Every structure is written in structure tokens, then in C-alpha cells.
Structure 1
């Protein structure tokens, strides 16, 4: 494989250089003495990088990996350095990426020479502060998830690890994420790949995601197995159950575990055949409509001993979500939480058309879901979790303003873990050992160090959220209001979040669907 050739190239170079120097010195050539410092320096650098335990990239690619850091340091300090378009076209800031690294390493996070964003360009967002700031305790930024139908509510952090499966991620990555969750007392979503031993080893709180493949709770035919689910859900680490209807990166489409990643161990965890590509179907087989889905949620709540249950979706059709709300009213079955995943969410592998063109963006979907739940008097029963490019404390405050009660982060946690966005997630050759099942690569992830970085990132981001809320005069998450956040929609037009995302009702008082708003 190419990545293995690249890894061994530096060792071969050192060997050839050392032999050349030794022969030259033995024969009395001047060139041997000239090359001696180079040979010794390169050999020492290679050995140091190979055995240090802080940087996975350098451990996996000694000396060679330093080219990446060199290129980063010599880039010109231009506007393009700090702001670029991510894969879905939404502005993604290298400055934000730098903030994650700084928070994970628990180092200085201040910036000189003021803001680097162009505050007069459309899309710029800010919050209005108060002349009389308040003190917000970071440790108080938690929310209880579990309504009157739940007997084991969970006290959740406002920031948690988004769904990423073992199989897509390596065992050392999962151990690091869950270890960080245990240290920081926040939750770790398992992803739809089931509960692995690495999710349980550190004892961090888990949100067990059940996808269309029912991995970890299926029978031999691939259907949901109540008995297998009940046994797994009884684990003390499992705090919540999340039923995945769809995800933002590829809504309406199932996932794929490549055969190369489907090891015997992973197959045993997922209860599938090893060594073959495993497809998750687009739709569930345990239910086919909103009433059956609510009954299924109630069944999982009962089988889990009363733990909080909810569902995750990337909103497609608002009328379908309204039918779900109507079914809740008619049946009296209320999920404890709903996860709204924006179409801007990421994944290791998704078709381009799905990533770019399917699903509702997070803020529009979040506003619609919250407004619909309030209209049907359901919001008091249900907590809302938001997911989709949430990285900073300001990102969390924005979704709180739109009605979310807590948030997930995937890319923020991945960056804290050591991801360098090499975009090799589905290839099995992730250079930092995060998204691979190659032991020669994932051994580069030092769990003892990376779990601390994950916990640091979470702690510092929650601290930043508390400071932002205090600066704006919000004493609790429930009091964050959309009127305090603003977006420049043109160079001369400014609107608040309340104006952009506020309730849009017809003359009869019913929520309007996005396609109806322009004609109302």
C-alpha cells in the first residue's frame, strides 16, 4: 500500500545515508565527514518521532510528517489562510480549527490585531452584549433529558460527542473519545455501529444509536431483536437510546462499512458476517409510519428499563414532521428527545449529490422543529439536540437561541483527537490512526494523551459558552434569546435570528412549510 511505502521510505533513506557515511569515512572520503551531521541528525529525528507519544502523525510518519507542519508555518498570513470553503460550501474558518487545537492542548487562546472576519460581508454573525454582564457557572450548563414517561432521566452536558461508529473509527480513537467523555462528564454517541468493548472500557456515558441495520441488537436475518437489545441496553454506561431515521451528510441513504474495515471483531460486535461490505438500508424494517415508530420508541423505552429514548433526523419534508407531531398528540407517546441533524453534517464517505443537495440546513430545520413542537404544545415534553458543524461556544449559543437544549459535535471532537482532515476516512489509510482499522496506524494514537485533549476541548468550549452567555446577560441556557443574535444578510441589511427564524404562521395559526413561506 502507498501509505506503507511512504512510512518505510524514511527508514530506508536513513539506512542508505548511514551506510554511505560509514563507507565514506572508512575510505577517507571528505564527503563522508560532510554528510555525517546530516545522517546523524536525520536518524535521531526519525527515532525521536517514532517513539514520541504526543503526535500520531509523526509517530506514524517519522520525519516525513514534519513537512506538514513546515508547510503550515510558511503559508502567507492572508485572508484565505483564515477563511476557506469547506466541502459543502459553507464558510469554514481555519481560525476555528486553530481554536480547537488550542483548547485541546489547553494553551493560550487569545488573538492579536482584532477580528479577522470581514464584518461587512453578508453572512457575518454576532451577538449583542449587555452593559451589565452576569456570571454564569460552566458546571451549571447541563440539561436533564427524560420526560414524565421516563424513569431514568440523564443529566447531560450542553456539548456532547456526535455519532461516530467503531469500525469507521479505530479502537484507539473510540477509547480516547470515551475516555474524554468520562473525564469531562459528557456523553459519547456510539454511532449506528453498536456498542464495542472500547465504548465500555472507560465507563464514559453512552448514547446508544440504533440505525436501520440494528447493529448490536439484530437477529440472524438482520431484524431488530428485543432480547438482544434489552441485554445490551442494561449496561450502566448506556444513558440514552437514539433511533436514527437519517443523518445530515446523506439523508435518505444508508451507510456502508467497507469490507477492509469489517474485521472479525467488528463483525462480532455488529452481528454480521466478517470480511464483506455491510450496507445499512435506507429505511427501517421495524416500522413503516409515524405511529409504528412511536410504538417502537415506547418498546425500546420499556426494554431499556425506562431510559430516555428519542430519534434523530435530518429534516426533509416539514409536513412529515407535522404528521409525527400529530401522532404524538393522538397516542400520548412522547420521545424524551429529538436530535436535529443539519444537512451540513459530515461523514467519512457520502455521495457528492447527497452531501451538497439533499436535506434541510441545521438552523432552518431547528427553527421549524421547535416552532412545530410549540404549536402542538409538545416542546415541554421533549428536549432538542442540535448537530451540524458545531465547533465553538458561539455555535452552541446560536442553536440554544433557536430552541435547542444541547448540542453534539463531531468535527470539533475529531480535531481535538488529532484529525488533520486528510480526507482519507473511507480508505483505511488515515495518517493519524483515527479512521482506520490498520494496527500499524491506529497504534500511533496515544489514548492517555488524546483523551485528555478531548476533555480539555470540551471543558474550554463550555467555559467559552459560559463567558459568552454572561457577556450577553443570559443567566441560563433557557434564557438565550434569538433577538440577541444578528446576521448581515446584505452589506446594508441586518436581521436578528428572531426575524430570520421566528415562527411563521398562516392566518389560521398553523406553521407554514418552507415552500409556502414565499407565497404567504
Structure 2
């Protein structure tokens, strides 16, 4: 049975029974009438815009839940891990009026000639290939409507990213898709040409991701269509496995120099890093390299080990790398300790869905946030758990054109914009209730965690917060060993 479910069979049955009613006996109308009604309903479902179930599964969407569609209550948000304790934000007895305009974050250090004003909440990295072209386009149009950014993911720039008019953060992974040279390295001319596009506002160099750090991304063969193969420069119908590490650099020093070269080739647009933090000494090695070479990225996106959209391999998801909270605190402290925090913005990516999540991540050290799972839900994901098969029933995570047709781009784009707008508005209202008008007024004391029954401590007490330049002046005992081990000329 095809992607349109039972509709062709119902239509055929209606035609045969109606013919029999005319040619054989009027009694056949008892069979023809319901079949004709279902056929008309199915045709209407094909034109239905508001529900992906009906649009992608005409007739079947009315008769029951289509194959691949999760039954009610079958898919639930995972329970918090043991390290997640109940937390609450501290309200003020003297709240303030909420800001009328949502705050933005200026991204771009002193070496950046084209800075970008980043929204508090943006679309996290999701590639064309992992998502359908219609899903990518809906996300991009939503970003254009709401004036926020969409991270392309490491699958390269596609026409679906560029058609919607939204701002883009072009992500480069270890495969360098979109500007890949024949030898697997970076094609500098192609990179410069694409980075010059007005839609590209920032460039993000992905070192690792929370969903599968250290393994490289995987696009299953079932989702490698002719278009995907052309976009990425890979064979059709074969698993696309990105290398685990970059070939353009091999040490922290080479990495920061590579970032500087990317920024120059991009015409001075912001260039940053995306990573899931592992050993603290490795990130400190990057900081030492920044100081030694006098260059630094414009932003660092911290991905939490608990992040991901449901597609990563279960053996690694949530088990490799630091959770987002610890990663944010580590990166914020490291950059502060070496005196670079004022020129490098920090993004947070991982389990960000609500206004409360946004405020929490800002307190923990971020300047802005990115969401993937929540944006997928806004664009129509039903969490069927079939992302890796290409059989997504809602048209979000598939390269099957008939399945993708279920996703109505214009409607989903408005839904994405509305979700982002209301989430940021909630974050601004929460800050106002805490007596804060701007994110800069938030402090670790505004977030409290229950560490034991009847025992609560604020983040100001739970974590050690370094003063600007403290690592240079003399690291505290808790940082001394990692600071000593940090080598700008090696990741070991």
C-alpha cells in the first residue's frame, strides 16, 4: 500500500461498486455510498492543511492512527537523570515591568567587521537530510518572520535554507559539506563564495555535539536521496558518516588560527565553535592557544550531553560529555578566568524548550539559547521515533516526497514563529518577575537547587565562579591541575 494509505483502494472500490449499482443492481449502492464518501473525504484530506495525520495519510487518518504513528501516551519525555535535581528561580518582592522589545545579543568580537544581533532563542543545528526540505524551509520562514537565526546543521547550505529569507548560522562539520574539496578538506574558494551570501550571518565550526560526541554525524542510506547526494558530494543510497575529527587542524593552536582564517574568508562575519565539553583541561588548552595567538572565536555554542532530537545512537546519547549545566559553567568560568569572556558570546544547546529553560541557561553562563527538539515539535514532529528510517509519518524527518508532502510549509512556519515569540516573551516576563529587565542582571544567586530534603543552595554557592583574569593571576587549587595540563599544542 502506498504512502496515501487505503485511499486508492477505497477509490477503486467506490468505482467498482458504483458501476455495479448502475449495471447490475441498485442494491450495490449500499456498498458504493460509504466507499464514495470515504473517497471524497480522502481527497479532502489531501488538501487538508492543519493536520499532518490527515494530509499525509488520507482516509487512514480518519479510520485510526496510521502505521508508524505513535499511540496516545506511548511517547513520553524521558525522566530526568539522577544528576538533575529540582530547581527553582528566585522571584523578587519588587518585580519590574517586562521589556516591550525582546533582548538581543551582539555577536562579534574585535576582529569581526560584520557583527550579528542574535535572538535569545534560535533554531539549533538540524541538517537538510536529517530533516526534509519542507521542514527546513518551514523553519527558515519561521526564523524570517520572527527575526531569529537558524543553524543549518553540518549538512551544508541547501536551497531550502536559502529560499525562506531567514538568517542562517552556517555550520561546518568534519565533512565540510557544502564546501568540500576532492581530498575531503575545505575548498576555500567555495567557502568564501557561500559565506558571502547575505543570508549567512555567522559560521559555526562544529567540533562535537551532545547527541554523539567524538563519533561524527551519521546520515542513514535510506535518507540519502539524489538531492542530498548532490548537495553533500557523496554517493546516493550509501550511509554518510562524517569523520570523527577535523583534518584541517590537529592542535588547539592550529584550531584558533583556522578560526581566524575562516573569519577572514567570510568577510569578517562572526565565526565560532560548537562543542560538547569533555575534559576541562582540553577547553583550557583552547583558551591558552587563544591567548598565545591573540585570536579568538566570536562565540562558543555549548551542547549538552543530554541534547539531541531523538535520532542519535542510543549507546552514546546522554552518556558522553558533560551535561549542559556543567558544560556552561565550565566554559563561562574558563573564558572569564583568562579574561576573554567579554569578547566571546556563549550559546546553550540542549533541552531548551520553555521560557524558564532560557532564563535558567542564561543564569548558568549562556548569552543566548538554541532549541532543536522543541522546534521539531513546532514544525509538526509527532515523536514517532522513526527519524533514522526515513519513514517519518509527519513529513519532518524524511526524504520521501510523498511523506514530506504532509507538512504544510506556510502553516508550520507561522507555528515556529509563534512558538519562538511566546517562549522569549515568557522568558522576559520571568526575568521581570525576578526584578531583572535585561539578561545581564541575572546572577547565579537567582537559581536555587534542592540538594537534599530541606536543604537548598543557590548556584552562587553550588559552583565556584572565577573572577576575570583569575587563571592568569594564579589559578585556585580546584583549577590548578587542569590549568597546568592545558597544552596549546596538543589535545592529549
User: C-alpha separation between the residues in 2 aligned to 1:446 and 1:45?
Assistant: 18
Counterpart residue number, 2:490: none
What is residue 373 of structure 2 aligned with on the other side? 411
1:509 paired residue number: 476
Q: Are the structure 2 counterparts of residues 176 and 510 from structure 1 closer, same or farther at C-alpha, using a change threshold of 3 Å?
A: farther
Q: Offset of 1:55 from its aligned partner?
A: 1.8
Aligned counterpart in structure 1 of residue 218 of structure 2, from 238, 252, 256? 256
> Which one is further off, 445-454 or 347-356?
347-356
Whole-angstrom distance in 1 between the partners of 2:4 and 2:480 = 54
Q: Are the structure 2 counterparts of residues 82 and 141 from structure 1 closer, same or farther at C-alpha, using a change threshold of 3 Å? A: farther
Aligned residue in 1 for 2:391 = 429
**CA shift in 2, pair 1:68/1:473, >3 Å:** farther
2:17 counterpart of 1:16: no
2:315 maps to what in 1? Answer: 353
The answer to whether the 8 Å contact 2:3/2:402 transfers is: no
Give TM-score, length-normalised by structure 1. 0.84
Higher helix share: 1
Matched residues in 1 for 2:179 and 2:388: separation? 25
The residue number in structure 2 matching 1:268 is 230
Does residue 344 of structure 1 match 2:306? yes
Matched residues in 2 for 1:467 and 1:155: separation? Answer: 21
Partner in structure 2 of residue 307 of structure 1: 269
2:339 corresponds in structure 1 to 377
3-state DSSP class of the match of 1:354? Answer: coil
SS in 2 for 1:139: coil
Deviation track 1:3-60 (CA, whole Å, cap 9, x = no partner) reads x54743254246436755875796465x964x67754553343222221122222111
Whether contact under 8 Å (2:104, 2:117) holds in the other structure is yes
Given that 2:281 and 2:482 are in contact with CA atoms closer than 8 Å, whether structure 1 keeps it comes out as no
CA drift at 1:511: 4.9
Point out the more displaced range, 483-492 or 366-375.
483-492
Cα shift at 1:363: 0.4
Whole-angstrom distance in 1 between the partners of 2:151 and 2:180 = 19
**Matched-pair contact (CA < 8 Å) for 1:318–1:513:** no
Partners in 1 of 2:443 and 2:335 — Cα distance? Answer: 17
- The answer to whether the 8 Å contact 1:503/1:511 transfers is no
Deviations, residues 64-106 of structure 1 (Å, cap 9, x unaligned): 234349xx9x97xxxxx699552xx537xxxxxxxxxxxxxxx
- TM-superposed deviation, 1:348: 5.1
User: Residue 337 of structure 1 contacts residue 385 of structure 1 at CA under 8 Å; is this kept in 2?
Assistant: yes
CA distance in 1, matches of 2:480, 2:232: 38
Q: Which moved more, 1:296-305 or 1:374-383?
A: 374-383
1:177–1:417 contact (8 Å) kept in structure 2: yes
Q: Distance in 1 between matches of 2:104 and 2:464?
A: 25
The residue number in structure 1 matching 2:449 is: 487
2:197 alignment partner in structure 1? 235
Q: How does 1:10-159 map to 2 (within 5 A)?
A: 10-13=7-10, 15-16=12-13, 19=16, 23=20, 27=25, 29=27, 33=30, 38-39=34-35, 41-66=37-62, 67-68=64-65, 84-86=76-78, 89-90=79-80, 123-137=85-99, 139-159=101-121
- Structure 1, unaligned stretches of length 5 or more? 76-80, 92-121
- The CA distance in 1 between the partners of 2:324 and 2:21, in whole Å, is 65
Structure 2 matches for 1:274-293, cutoff 5 A? Answer: 274-293=236-255
Q: Which residue of 1 aligns with 2:260?
A: 298
Cα distance in 2 for partners of 1:511, 1:186 equals 39
For the Cα contact (< 8 Å) 1:372–1:511, is it kept in 2?
Answer: no
Contact 2:223 2:389 in 1 (8 A): no
2:269 matches 1:321: no
Cα distance per residue 1:282-317 (max 9 Å; x no partner)? 000000010000000000000001000110000111
Matched ranges for 1:189-200 at <5 A: 189-200=151-162
- 2:284–2:482 contact (8 Å) kept in structure 1: no
Gap change, CA 1:476 and 1:440, over 3 Å in 2: same
Correspondence for 2:166: 204
* Contact 1:482-1:498 within 8 A present in 2 as well: yes
1:453 Cα offset (Å): 0.9
Partner of 1:470: 432
CA–CA distance in 2 between the matches of 1:10 and 1:216? 40
How many angstroms does 1:338 deviate by?
Answer: 0.3
Give ranges in structure 2 of 5+ residues lacking alignment.
Answer: 484-492
Question: Equivalent residue of 1:213, what SS?
Answer: coil
Q: Give how far 1:273 is off.
A: 3.4
Provide the rounded CA distance (Å) in 2 between the counterparts of 1:68 and 1:483: 48
Query: C-alpha distance in 2, partners of 1:47/1:239?
Result: 42
Separation of aligned partners in 1, 2:189 and 2:18: 67
Q: How many residues align?
A: 472
CA contact (8 A) 2:127 2:153 kept: yes
Alpha-carbon separation, structure 1, partners of 2:475 and 2:389 = 53
Aligned partners of 1:508 and 1:410: how far apart in 2? 36
